[in-house]
Each structure stands twice: as C-alpha cells, then as structure tokens.
Structure 1
C-alpha cells in the first residue's frame, strides 16, 4: 500500500515541475487537503533539499527554484541520494515499485521512465560497503518521521558499549564513507549526529515537532565535520613522495598546514584534540608517513610497530605492549576507510 503523504508530496513536486507558479489553494484542491497540510508538505520537502521557493503576493504560492529546476534528466548524485532517502530508488517493497509510487502521485510517464532508469542504474549498497552497515535497516522509519515531523524514541550504544534511550527530533540523514548518520536534536539542545549502526531500536511516537526554518542538514554537517577532532595539540607529519597524492586527498581542517618540498615530499601540520586517533592512520602508511612531533605520538607508534613485529617473529607477542590510552574501538577502520593503497 502506498503511503498517502509520501505520494502526495511527490505529486506536489511534479506539479511544481510543470508550472512556473502554483497557488497554495490550487495545490490544496488538487490533492484534497487543507492549505495547512500543503504548507507542512512544502516544509518537509524543502527540509530534504528540494529547491522550492515561495512566491509573494495576494495569490502567493510556490515554484521550483529557477537556478535548480530539478530536471529529471540531469539528476546529480546529491539529488539521486535525496530520492533514495525518500524511498523512490528502493527495490520493490510493501510500498510498491518506484513506478507504482509515481503513478499514485500523478507523476507523468516521462518522469516515471526516468525514475525507472535511475532505479535500474543507481544502487546504494547499504548491506556491505567496505564493511557491513546495519544502520540502513532504520531508513524506512526515518523517512516517514522526517517527512511528517514525527519525534522518535531511539536506543543506541556508545563506543564504550553503554546503552541509552532518548527522544529525538530527526532533522536528516547523511551517508558518508560507507556509514549512515542520523542528525537529530533532543527535546532541548542542539543537533547531534548518531551513527545508525550503533542504533539498536527506533520507535515512532505520537509527538510532532516543527522543523527549524534556518536549519540545513548539509550546512550543519559541513560545520560539524570541520569542528570534529580539532584542538590545540600540534602534530607534524613527514610524508614521502609515494604517499603524497593520497594524503592530499584527505579532508584537512582549516587550521591544518601543508608545506611542499621540491623532492615531492610534504610536511603536514595538524591541530587535533587527541593524538591517539592518529596511530592507526599513520601506521597504515608504513614508512611513507612518519611523525616528527609530538614525542608522545612517536613513542606510541614505535611501541605499536614493535609489538606487531614481535607477533610476526614469534607465535607469542613478546615485544612491549602499546601504551594504555590507545583507541580500542573501530578508529582503525574509520581512519583508513575508503582508501585504496597505490591509487
């Protein structure tokens, strides 16, 4: 059975696609709902990146932003991701195929054909991309909650293994480096990010919330990634020419410094909150990336490499154990995630 709200919102986008300006009253009459419902639908669509603009005047209404008309023949990867999150690029499910959902929403045959081609040609491997991501199973509930402004009760685990249950207002989801992240706010407080593969349960509630007008998930995420891991601890890395291209592809912070040398080597200076999380990243490059400071990081990496060498030289690891305080979570996977050695 097709979700009526889901189908109506897709229908609104299709109407806006075919006309330069549509009054709210026309949309309400077409879909048999109140003006207030249309306003709520528009808020949900714009919150998910659909470029809809309000038009002023006595007969004010809406139109697609002229600089981004959402041409179905030129969908870029970001727009394709939005369609996926909204459920229109999924394989056939209880809600029907993409074509069936499109017909229920009054989508033209041309757009239905484009959606069929997208579903045929675009695949988001949420079952196993680099490693298994269990969080993708939560997407159906999140889609409905985000589009309807419904609060959720979630139970999640911390990196330390503790379990917590909390009430959240879901603002959006982000797919980054093989993992889904939920961006949501508690009843009081700023937005936070939650890795979906650490979420054990998501339950819809009967509570609703108003999506903040000045909030954009993409902008918030960019700022959060810039702040994540930044601090006052200075780390200096010497990068050999063999690792130059790959290190330059890493996302550096605004405080980072890159000094290039004539022989192709680099010196990269980072300012981080903790140096421990750099151990798996630096050791994964072998001799091509070495730490010149701080000395504590050099000593920790040396101990780590000696311990690894001892494991190869003997059936029992006899070298000095890595110092306490090193990360014992999945930071090694995350720090090297998506890299292709020699690329």
Structure 2
C-alpha cells in the first residue's frame, strides 16, 4: 500500500513537470482516485519540499514553482534501496518495461525511475571488505517476482559446502551485507548470507508464496532471537564508552541501569559469552565484565597475550591518548555484524 501511494505521488510530480497547469480532477482521473486523495498527496509532497503551487479559478490546478529547482531525489533512502534491489537503480541491470509492469510500475513512474537511476548510486563494497553477495541479486529478482525456486550452494560455519533447493521469500540488506530469506522444500524460512553463497542457479520449479508472510516482520523477529539465551553477562561501562555502547543493538531482555556519574551497568542474556570477547576487549578499561567469571578470565588472558606481543615488538613512541577515539571507528570495525562472524 505504501509503495502504491509513493508511486502515485511520483507520478503526480512527473505530470506537473511536463505540464504548466494540471487540475485536481485530471490527476484524480489519471490515477484512479478521488480528488480528496489528490489533495492529501499534494499536501504530503509540499511537506517534503516539492515546490507545488495551487492556481485558483475554473481553469486552475497545480503546477511546479517556476522559480525553484526541483531536487531530483524525491524518494527516501528506504524506497530507493528497494528500487535498487529490483534493478531499477542498478546500471548493470537496466529495467525492462515487462519487468516494471510485473511489479506494478507504470510507464509514467518508469520515466521518473530512469532519471533517478542517473542520480542515485549504491556502492556495495566497503573500504576494508567486499560484499560478493550482491552479484546474486539479478537471479533473485527474477526468482522472487516469478515465485520460482533456486538451487543454491553455500559455505557453512564448519567450512563445508551444502546444496539445496530453496524457495526465495525475500532479500534483506543489513550493515553492508545481503541476506536471502528462503525456505527449503519442507520447513520454515531461514537466512543465508549471500557472500557465503558460491552458486545460485535459477530453476523452472514454481512455488506458492505464503500470503501472510512478511519479510520485514520475519527479519525483525529473527534479529531479536539471534544471540539470545540464558547466560547472564553484566558489564560496567564508564561515561567515556556510554554513547557507543548505547548505539549497539540490544535485545528486549537486556537491561540498562544509568548512574549519576554518567556510567552504565548493562545486563545481557546471551546464548554464548564467547562472542563477546573481541567486542568487550576493544573497549579496554572502559567496559569491564563483572560476570560471568569465565568471560572475565578469557578477556584478561587475551589482553595479557596482546600486551606481551607489544612489550616485545612495539618500537618506542609517544603514549596513546586516554579514553576512546572521538569517532565511530569501533562501530565501523564491527560493522554492526556478529563480532564472531
């Protein structure tokens, strides 16, 4: 529903760009809605900075202000990313009229998309790692639109390979990585990191897409469940690390206790404490584990081994500054991913 509204509003902007004056009744007839709906659309567009002027009188209507340049980026980043996944903003996969009509995009909106494609670019490679998974998107686009299965071969956590026939329900972009949400012949959906998929082959086998399934809702629940467990971890956080730690994604079971001096006590309930070792260690003395004792011992051992290497190999130099770096370098280093990934 939201996509249909957005498409109609983009179509309205396109008509106003090509005409000097367009009556509300003509807009309503063109998009098959009431004039009241057009009034709401115009209000929404002007609220987002689109310079639309109303002309009173019998021959009146709407037009774009001739004195104001229209910003071509008239869609939000979330909608732009969806268009990119569908291939409409991907210069390597030009949108065809048939594929556009298959997803309900009219000829009018296609022209807007072609203009946007020259102005929006998604760089799926980061400066220190490369997401090979985006190369599978063209196959997934077709498979999802046609509801056809794909044969996938991927690397598992143990280093082995697995091959299976999958029903692709959707794709998700999170923190620079693409994930496929798909189900096997039997059983519920699961997520597959596309950069671990070595082979993705389309098939002619069709499947019935579950009408009640929502990729957004399924993903939100999967992220909530991921890493949760019964192991209690208590962290004492200094004021210097407070802001960064609060920016990390916490579960519904997590507890945050604030103190008068700006410090925090964070209580986590995880499945395994081992994956917290690299994250907590990176904060040095600003994040201290008080329980469990096994995690404290593991972190202390890692820091001792690190210190031993630097004591013997580090050349003399100026002392490092106190406290944490005043930027998002640590968050970028984990990139929002599971630290053990």
Match of 2:49 in 1: none
Match of 2:66 in 1: none
* 2:297 is aligned with 1:299: yes
Q: Is the 8 A contact 2:236 2:264 kept in 1?
A: yes
Match of 1:77 in 2: 77
Q: Is the 8 A contact 1:237 1:267 kept in 2?
A: yes
Deviation string, structure 1 residues 308-335 (Cα, Å, up to 9, x no partner): 111112259xxxxxxxxxxxxxxx9998
Query: Partner of 1:154: helix, strand, or coil?
Result: strand
Q: Is the 8 A contact 1:138 1:196 kept in 2?
A: yes
**Cα distance between partner residues in 2 of 1:203 and 1:186:** 15
**Cα distance, 1:207–1:15 mapped onto 2, change above 3 Å:** farther
Mapping for residues 162-311 of structure 1, pairs under 5 Å: 162-311=160-309
**Cα distance between partner residues in 1 of 2:90 and 2:273:** 41
User: Per-residue deviation at 1:179?
Assistant: 0.5
Q: Is the 8 A contact 1:151 1:206 kept in 2?
A: yes
Give the count of matched residue pairs.
267
Q: Which has the larger radius of gyration?
A: 2
Query: Partner of 2:274: helix, strand, or coil?
Result: coil
Q: Is the 8 A contact 1:14 1:107 kept in 2?
A: no
User: Per-residue deviation at 1:14?
Assistant: 7.1
- Normalising by the residue count of structure 1, what TM-score does the alignment of the two structures yield? 0.69
Match of 2:142 in 1: 144
**Cα distance between partner residues in 1 of 2:128 and 2:262:** 30
**Cα distance between partner residues in 2 of 1:83 and 1:315:** 51
* 2:52 is aligned with 1:19: no
**Cα distance between partner residues in 2 of 1:334 and 1:199:** 24
In the alignment, structure 2 segments of 5+ residues that lack a partner are: 12-29, 46-71, 315-329
Match of 1:107 in 2: 107
Deviation string, structure 1 residues 157-216 (Cα, Å, up to 9, x no partner): 012211000111000000101110000011111110000111000011111111101100
**Cα distance, 1:14–1:262 mapped onto 2, change above 3 Å:** closer
User: Per-residue deviation at 1:124?
Assistant: 1.7
User: Per-residue deviation at 1:74?
Assistant: 4.3
RMSD of aligned Cα (Å) = 3.6
**Cα distance, 1:333–1:187 mapped onto 2, change above 3 Å:** farther
Match of 1:39 in 2: none
**Cα distance between partner residues in 2 of 1:129 and 1:75:** 27
Q: Is the 8 A contact 2:88 2:114 kept in 1?
A: no
Q: Is the 8 A contact 1:92 1:98 kept in 2?
A: no
**Cα distance between partner residues in 1 of 2:80 and 2:301:** 46
User: Per-residue deviation at 1:102?
Assistant: 6.7
